[in-house]
Amino acid sequence: MTYQSVNPNTGKVLKSFEHLNNAELEASLAAAEHGFQSWKKKSYAERAVIVNKAAALLHAHVDDFAKLETIEMGKRIDEARGEVKFSGDIMAYYAEHAEAFLAPTKLHPKVGEAHMESSPLGVLFCVEPWNFPYYQLARVAGPQLMAGNVLVVKHAGCVPQCAMAFERLMIDAGAPVGVYTNLLISHDQCDRVIDDPRIKGVALTGSVSAGRVVAARAGQNLKKSSMELGGSDAFIVLEDANLDQTVPWAVWGRMYNGGQTCCAAKRFIVLDAIADQFLAKFKAALEGLTPGDPMDEKTTHGPLSTEESLVQLLAQVDAAVKGGAKLLMGGKRIDRPGAFMQITILTDIAPGNPAFRDEFFGPVVSFYRVKDEAAAIALANDSDFGLGGSVWTKDEARGKRVASQVDTGMMFVNNINWLDAELPFGGIKDSGYGRELGNMGIQEFVNKKLVRTGHFQAPA
């Protein structure tokens, strides 16, 4: 694969980068292993100095990091600034809480004493996606560095400058050589890294197809892995929903980050009694979004990350229409430079249509009408994915009951606010396994060791 920065607003190539050769890769892995031997011996307080410094640098240079991200992957500048700030918050959160999260846990055996203690595994290999170039890195760097692990990271091919910027951030924060290493490597070299005995765990955020390949390789090597994959989240609107509250969240839920979010609202499941009213308001709100330069704060509809992403999404919409879905609006690219797509609404999507199962990673709405609450829950669960979802109702207790019946890793009642480092993030089914963020996120790649003491009579 090629590491190439292309501005998706203009289509112009910015910079290209060569892969590491195998000798350079070996040097990076050797440095990581050497770095781990000293990093694991540092106290939580010593690690926290560096991780807190990284957080402070992110907060101090929000515009610099954000502008690079906007130029390289097309994220609207205000959203890019928000991502940089949240990434800093995640780093600071783990610097503060890691020691408490990993403190020994006292057990209560019938005889003697026992406790569980946590220790780092070693060098972790992280494969990360382009849609949140800093946040995805902070989600692994914050917890795993504070746990005492070290990271080698293969970032997406279209955001190499963001990848390099994060590595530079860690170096500027004082991270010793080998503690955080960016790898510009090929897919074949990824296999080489996973197979390497110095690698003790593998974390991937990406597509289902990438997850299958990487998880299988890790499994062949009996290495712990976590997978955060795709999603096709249900946005369930019950008949008593407050549409003045619900519609703005529907727009944000589908269009945040240009719709290129694994936990975006993608399947809008609305009860018949309110479907026409919701759809009219939702369509009008989407029509009010204005395409333009993502660096311009007035822009409300930016480009997709790459031309390849646009072409794939257009093909998915065409296949949906050929399969019988109705195109209520959009469906085509916007006639301007860059990877811009019209905001699209598909309705009348039957179970046999490929759109019924597919994930649309961009500004495409799948709209479904259902007769009642039970039908909404059944349709929400009729998915290969199980990442997130939301339910909208004036009755919060009812919303919680519905949320409990939807098979996902995350459900939200009258909001879709996952932007908090305290909240574990992850899914089930084809959306993967394992959790990032919160207390659970730091537990994924540590050894949980039982230590028992006591005086026992030796076996005869």
Query: Nearest CA to 450 among 107, 120, 101?
Result: 107
Q: How far apart are CA 70 and CA 80, in angstroms?
A: 7
Residues 6+ apart with CB under 8 A from 115: 104, 105, 106, 107, 450, 451
**Contact between residue 302 and residue 76 where contact means Cβ atoms under 8 Å apart:** yes
435: nearest Cα among 423, 422, 426, 445: 426
> Which among 291, 279, 230 is positioned nearest to 250, based on CA atoms?
279
What percent helix, strand, coil does the chain show, rounded to 5?
45, 20, 35
Buried/exposed code over 90-114 (b: 16+ C-beta within 10 A; e: otherwise): bbbbbbbbbeebbeeeeeeeeeeee
Residues that are catalytic: 228, 262
Three-class SS of 69-121: HHHHHCCCHHHHHHHHHHHHHHHHHHHHHHHHHCCCEEECCCCCEEEEEEEEC
Hey, CA dihedral for 404, 377, 282, 263, is it positive or negative?
Answer: positive
DSSP states along 112-146:
SEEEEEEEE--EEEEE--SSSTTHHHHHHHHHHHH
Residue 94 in tokens: 């783990």
Where b means 16+ CB within 10 Å and e means fewer, 121-137 reads bbbbbbbbbbbbbbbbb
Count of CB atoms situated within 10 Å of the CB of 397: 8
Question: Exposed/middle/buried for 307, CB within 10 Å: 0-12, 13-18, 19+?
Answer: middle
Checking DSSP bridges between strand 385-386 and strand 428-429, what pairing results, if any?
A: antiparallel
Strands 265-271 and 364-370: parallel
